[in-house]
Structure 1
Amino acid sequence: MSQQLAVLQDAYKCFERGDIDTVMKYIAEDVEWRVVGPASVPFGGTRRGRQAVAEYFRQLAEGDEITGHEVREVIDAGDKFVVLGHVKANVRATGKPYETEWVHIVTMKDGLLTRWIEFFDTAARQC
């Protein structure tokens, strides 16, 4: 297993147990972080830099209560990864549950995430 893959897997495990402080240690200072979707997704859009990613995690926690998060497959292409998974959550504003599969495209350099892009079924979240 490559060092990059080990770091990536640990970052997801930390996220799944709610350890965002450790996740942040794996984020590069000049990271590009993007959630593709409509403006109605409160944690959507593009962010640049570690502080902006910290804000993403704050907005995500405020918007959704994640009740299940699972990485199902990781495709390793050296410094680039495609991560396939599934999430179950409740929209805090409405209390309504949703679940969807997701895809993350991740670029890493020197053990840090430098680019992260998420695609998920945003219509499922709009319960």
Structure 2
Amino acid sequence: MSNEENVQVVNNFFAAIGSGDKQALLALVDEGIEWIIPGEDWPLAGTHRGHAGVAAVLRKAAEEIEMIFPKPPEFVVQVGRVLVVGVATGKIKATTRTFKDDWVFDITVRNGKLTKIREYIDTQALAKASAGRVQ
């Protein structure tokens, strides 16, 4: 696939997340996907595998946080790989504390499907906003 097609697949993935369209989202994700969110003291941190892992982490995110994206992300592309650079603001539902999260998603796309996501987020900002929440 071309770089433009890979960016479109990634754009469609983020659009499906934003709209809550689970079927469209899973259609864009390889069944063997690995989604890694590094960090500690953050409920979404860990390695999430397969369609079930993706569905679980997105369900947990919806339960835990409210988030908006004040400006469109930037895309950096090379063959088979899309880096998405953006910023989000929001709040942790359990604590009502707000945060600003500068993030990068490193996404591998093969044959029109996302096969690997490595998400780099401001875990310190998110852990700080989560501090004191009941687990």
Same-fold status (TM-score > 0.5): yes
Asked if the contact 2:6–2:82 (Cα under 8 Å) also holds between the matched residues in 1, the reply is no
Partner letter of residue 121 of structure 1? Answer: D
1: CA distance, partners of 2:56 / 2:112: 22
Map of 2:14 onto structure 1 = 12
Where does the alignment leave 5 or more consecutive residues of structure 2 unmatched? 130-135
Q: What secondary structure does 1:82 align onto?
A: strand
2: CA distance, partners of 1:93 / 1:41: 13
Partner letter of residue 115 of structure 1? Answer: K
Please give the per-residue CA displacement for 1:43-66, whole angstroms capped at 9, x wherever unaligned. 110011111110010111111111
Q: Does 1:102 align with 2:103?
A: yes
Q: Does 1:77 align with 2:78?
A: yes
2: CA distance, partners of 1:17 / 1:70: 17
Q: What secondary structure does 1:2 align onto?
A: helix
Higher strand share: 1
Q: Alignment identity in percent?
A: 26
Please give the per-residue CA displacement for 1:48-99, whole angstroms capped at 9, x wherever unaligned. 1111110010111111111336442111101111110111111011011111
Partner letter of residue 38 of structure 2? Answer: V
Map of 1:44 onto structure 2 = 45
| Count of residues in Structure 1 that have an aligned counterpart in Structure 2 | 126
Partner letter of residue 108 of structure 1? Answer: V
Partner letter of residue 111 of structure 1? Answer: G
2: CA distance, partners of 1:50 / 1:84: 24
Where does the alignment leave 5 or more consecutive residues of structure 1 unmatched? none
Map of 1:67 onto structure 2 = 68
2: CA distance, partners of 1:87 / 1:21: 24
Q: CA deviation at 1:113?
A: 0.3
Q: What secondary structure does 1:46 align onto?
A: strand
**TM-score by structure 2 length?**
0.85
Q: What secondary structure does 1:41 align onto?
A: coil
Label 1:20 to 1:89 Cα distance change in 2 as closer, same or farther (>3 A): farther
Q: CA deviation at 1:23?
A: 1.7
Asked if the contact 1:69–1:88 (Cα under 8 Å) also holds between the matched residues in 2, the reply is yes
Partner letter of residue 48 of structure 1? Answer: R
